[in-house]
């Protein structure tokens, strides 16, 4: 996997040079996108990358709705009817949902074709587009089916962030906080300070630092069997919170915000189970509360949330497993958490 990080020269210009090289001779390109990226991002991509001007387009619904096996089947059918062979390349232009879906489709078509991820959201740039995890949802549960299929290229172009509303930028900040919390204590403290005093702005070097941390972790553990699991901090709670919020009649919580709330839960448990200093939890809770509304759950809600947590793919032998912290930069993976501990944590969240 080649990662094109933000630098003095445009990332898309460097992508254009790579696609004009011998490795992509005679390749046909298909661009996967949703309505938002079709309108706001595709023109910029095509203007900068000559090799994609003759690409064929495939459009899917916006958001988690696209991560469905029926839509994946439709995309496979489109590729088949277009006579796409194993030398074709699927370019995924969008946020985490698009790169999850596109990677899944690429992994399954003709036993695997190359794909390129061009993330257009901050969540995608610092996390979702990197690492080769692909996934679809099943029965309203996050990422239950998928493959490990590394992209040939990940191209991170910060200019795409100019198309996003502030709420979506803040959604990605939670993934940055998570990455620095487990991998770079100095940057974590700096980011918290900026968020608390209102001076934060998304800087290319911070995006690059997150991408480098994740890439290094993935290189050590590409199949998520050991150290890579540190990147799941907040996700056991977060995926349940996200799925629960997408039930009919509820207010949906975006992935980044759900993970951010899940990290409050994980740090609460870390205080009681691992002796994490209370001030670490207090500081993070203050940051999270500035970025999103912390929900209040009833006992009945906790039972529904537990249903989703029992399905989490990181569980083993019927036990719910979490990533917790001994301190900033000192994560502990695969800790078994009792269901009563989970109930108490969720009830005390707000």
pLDDT of residue 52: 97
What DSSP assignment string belongs to 18-56?
HHTSGGGTT--EEEEEEHHHHHHTHHHHHHH-GGGTT-E
- pLDDT tens readout for residues 93-139: 999 999 999 999 999 999 999 999 999 999 999 999 999 999 999 99
Is the separation of the CB atoms in 130 and 211 below 8 Å?
yes
Q: What is the pLDDT of residue 115?
A: 98
Identify the pLDDT of residue 163: 87
Give Rg (Cα) of the chain.
20
User: Can you say how many angstroms the Cα of residue 172 is from the centroid of all Cα atoms in its chain?
Assistant: 9
Closest alpha carbon to 305 in 235, 220, 239, 218 = 239
Q: How high is the pLDDT of residue 171?
A: 86
Helices assigned H by DSSP within the chain: 11-19, 35-40, 42-48, 69-81, 96-108, 122-123, 166-183, 185-197, 204-220, 235-245, 255-274, 278-291, 299-310, 339-347
Q: Is the pLDDT of residue 332 over 90?
A: yes
pLDDT of 60 > 90? The answer is yes
Query: Looking at residue 175, what is its pLDDT?
Result: 96
pLDDT attached to residue 269: 98
Quickly tell me which residue has 């949330």 as its tokens.
Answer: 305
Distance CA 63, CA 36 (A): 10
Q: Across residues 167-189, what is the average pLDDT?
A: 95
How far apart are alpha carbons 17 and 78 in whole angstroms? 28
For position 239, what pLDDT does the model report? Answer: 96
Mean of the per-residue pLDDT values of the chain: 96
How confident is the model at residue 168, as a pLDDT?
A: 86
Amino acid 215: pLDDT: 96
- Tell me how far apart the alpha carbons of residues 293 and 220 are, in angstroms, rounded to a whole number: 36
Q: How confident is the model at residue 3 (pLDDT cuts 50, 70, 90)?
A: very high
Which residues make Cβ contacts (< 8 Å) with residue 93, sequence separation at least 6? 31, 32, 33, 37, 41, 42, 45, 118, 120
Residue 72 contacts by C-beta under 8 Å, 6 or more apart in sequence? 101, 104, 105, 108, 136
Predicted TM-score (pTM) of this structure: 0.94
Measure the CA–CA gap between 319 and 224, rounded to whole angstroms.
18
With cut-offs at 50, 70 and 90, classify the pLDDT of residue 313.
confident
**pLDDT tens per residue across span 78-105:** 999 999 999 999 999 999 999 999 999 9
Per-residue confidence band for 346, with pLDDT thresholds at 50, 70 and 90? very high
Give the per-residue pLDDT at 151: 98
């Amino acid at each position: 996997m080649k990662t094109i990080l933000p630098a003095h020269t445009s990332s898309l210009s460097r992508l254009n040079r790579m696609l004009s090289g011998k490795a992509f001779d005679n390749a046909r390109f298909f661009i996967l996108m949703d309505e938002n990226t079709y309108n706001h991002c595709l023109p910029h991509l095509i203007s900068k990358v000559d090799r994609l001007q003759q690409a064929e387009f495939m459009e899917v619904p916006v958001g988690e709705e696209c991560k469905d096996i029926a839509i994946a089947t439709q995309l496979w059918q489109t590729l088949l009817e277009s006579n796409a062979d194993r030398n074709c390349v699927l370019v995924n232009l969008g946020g985490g949902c698009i790169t999850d879906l596109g990677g899944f489709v690429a992994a399954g078509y003709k036993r695997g074709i190359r794909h390129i991820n061009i993330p257009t959201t901050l969540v995608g740039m610092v996390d979702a587009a990197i690492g080769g995890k692909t996934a679809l949802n099943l029965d309203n549960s996050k990422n239950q089916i998928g493959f490990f299929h590394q992209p040939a290229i990940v191209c991170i172009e910060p200019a795409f962030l100019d198309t996003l509303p502030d709420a979506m930028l803040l959604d990605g900040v939670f993934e940055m906080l998570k990455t620095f919390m487990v991998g770079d204590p100095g940057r974590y403290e700096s980011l918290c300070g900026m968020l608390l005093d209102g001076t934060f702005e998304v800087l290319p070097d911070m995006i690059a630092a997150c991408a480098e941390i994740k890439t290094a972790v993935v290189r050590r553990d590409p199949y998520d069997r050991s150290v890579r699991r540190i990147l799941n901090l907040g996700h056991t709670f977060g995926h349940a919170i996200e799925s629960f919020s997408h039930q009919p009649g509820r207010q949906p919580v975006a992935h980044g915000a759900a993970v951010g709330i899940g990290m409050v839960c994980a740090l609460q448990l870390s205080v009681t189970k691992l002796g994490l200093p209370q001030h670490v939890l207090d500081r993070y809770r203050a940051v999270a509360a500035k970025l999103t509304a912390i929900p209040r759950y009833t006992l009945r809600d906790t039972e529904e949330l537990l249903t989703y947590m029992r399905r989490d793919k990181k569980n083993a032998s019927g036990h719910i497993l979490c990533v917790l912290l001994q301190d900033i930069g000192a994560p502990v993976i695969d800790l078994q958490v009792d269901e009563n501990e989970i109930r108490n944590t969720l009830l005390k969240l707000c």
